[in-house]
Structure 1
Amino acid sequence: MFQLNTQGRTYGQNLRLAIFLSFSAGLINIIGLLQFGELVTHVTGHFTHFANALSTGNFTLILQRFGFLFSFIFGAMAASVLVIYTGRWKEQYSHTFALLIEIAILFFVLSHPNWSARWNAYLLLFAMGLQNALVTRISGAVVRTTHLTGISTDLGIELVSLFHSQGEERKQITRRLSLQSTIVTGFVVGGIGAVFLFSKFHIHALLLPIAILTSALIYDAVHYQLHHKKDLSKIN
């Protein structure tokens, strides 16, 4: 699922990546909104608030809104650095450290719900920037899981293209539509689930995305080991 080689990736790998991480992002986004009053994946909205803050001339508000944007961008930068340098060491671990950092951040926020709401929102934005950049790099920009503006645009384009295609081209468009629909559905279902979970468990609802990300790591490690053993047996 987290195989770094974009040329060798399969549709199934990208689909599993979309299911696991879009659902997780939908959960985290709504939990962040309900607990801290901020959307932690909606960067377009934060740019809007930043522009509005600039128009007011309120330095404190400008700094706060810039912090939201910087947190997401810095998370994306961190993921890129981790993928590049870890991939040079061992390609199969290129995703591991980034996901472990995301899990650690979620645990920290879960354990410190009464800490500054703004700083917890910064941490969640960093985690979502980390996740989105990780998924983007691994999938070759085929899968993005933390915001839907680009995906919705692609859906509109592909739906029109579907009616003007045939044969292999139509098959490829159908696959892309299926992947994009999965991302949208996963994100929305995650958001709906977060509302119900938060009403019962409050910030402890973060345990579900933590469990999902941990399961994804374990699944990928086991899957890699099984295939690695098969490849070795073929060589021998």
Structure 2
Amino acid sequence: MFRHFGERRTLSHNLQLATLLSFVAGVVNISGVFYIKTLTTNVTGHFAFFAEEIVLNNYGLAFIYVAYVLCFLFGSFVSGFLMQLIARKKKGMSPVLLPILLEMLIISLVWYYSYTTVWSASKTHIIAASLLFAMSVQNALVTLVSNSIVRTTHLTGLFTDLGIEWAQLIFYRKAQARKRLKQSIFLRLAIIVFFFLGCVIGGVLFKFVSFHALLLAVGVLSYALFYDSIKYQFYSIKRRIQSHI
């Protein structure tokens, strides 16, 4: 799921990556909406809020929305930097290991911070900025691993691509081209469905355990790393055995 890059990736690799991490994004998204009434997986809406506050002369709030955008940008930078660093320096380590561990750490710290500090406006902004950073780390690593095929933290582009590909399906006649289109459509639908499931399941869980629902995202990320590591070890052992036969 995490070990193959670009052309080496199959539909199965991308489906595993897309479903798990889009589910995580859905959980984080709904948790942020319920707990701090703020979008925490993308920055599109925050540009509109920034413009609104500028027009209303609320420059302090406008600065906050700029900070949100910059946190998202910085998350992508850190994720890309860590992956490049590992790829160049640590040949035996998966390039996604540190970004995912960083994402898990930030989400865990946000959960801990939410229960150990009193409620205030600054607390809301810190939580929002931190979750935006974490989701940007995830979005960048998924983009790099899948060669920009998979996106997991926002759906606008997915729905656009989905509409285009459905239109192309009407006109494409060659079997190979139709097969690629159908696989792409299936992948995009899987991301949308699992993002929605993450929102619904995370929302239901939030009703019962409040912001503890955020730990579900950490659990899914832990499972993804564990599954990928076990599968990698299995195939490594299998190759060694076959090489001695």
Q: How would you bin the TM-score normalised by the shorter chain?
A: over 0.9
After superposition, give the CA deviation of every residue in 1:151-201 in whole Å (9 maximum; x if it has no partner).
Answer: 010000001111112311101100000000001111111111121110000
CA distance in 1, matches of 2:91, 2:57: 48
2:95 aligned with 1:99: no
Aligned to 1:55: 55
CA distance in 2, matches of 1:168, 1:179: 17
The structural deviation recorded for 1:112 is: 1.6
Residue identity matched to 2:179: K
**Aligned-residue CA RMSD in angstroms?**
1.3
The structural deviation recorded for 1:141 is: 0.4
Aligned to 2:184: 176
Residue identity matched to 1:107: S
Alignment of 1:1-236 (within 5 A): 1-88=1-88, 89-90=90-91, 92-114=93-115, 115=117, 116-166=123-173, 167-236=175-244
Asked if the contact 2:42/2:132 (under 8 Å) is kept, the reply is no
CA distance in 1, matches of 2:43, 2:217: 20
Runs of 4+ with deviation above 6 angstroms: none
The structural deviation recorded for 1:62 is: 1.7
Give the secondary structure class of the aligned counterpart of 2:153: coil
CA distance in 2, matches of 1:206, 1:68: 19
After superposition, give the CA deviation of every residue in 1:196-217 in whole Å (9 maximum; x if it has no partner).
Answer: 1100000111121111000000
CA distance in 2, matches of 1:33, 1:55: 25
CA distance in 2, matches of 1:34, 1:155: 29
The structural deviation recorded for 1:233 is: 2.7
TM-score under structure 2 normalisation?
Answer: 0.93
Residue identity matched to 2:224: A
The structural deviation recorded for 1:83 is: 0.8
Give the secondary structure class of the aligned counterpart of 1:145: coil
CA distance in 1, matches of 2:211, 2:27: 11
Give the secondary structure class of the aligned counterpart of 2:135: helix
Count of equivalent residues:
236
Give the secondary structure class of the aligned counterpart of 2:171: coil
Percent identity, please.
36
Asked if the contact 1:5/1:138 (under 8 Å) is kept, the reply is yes
Residue identity matched to 2:214: L
CA distance in 1, matches of 2:92, 2:196: 32
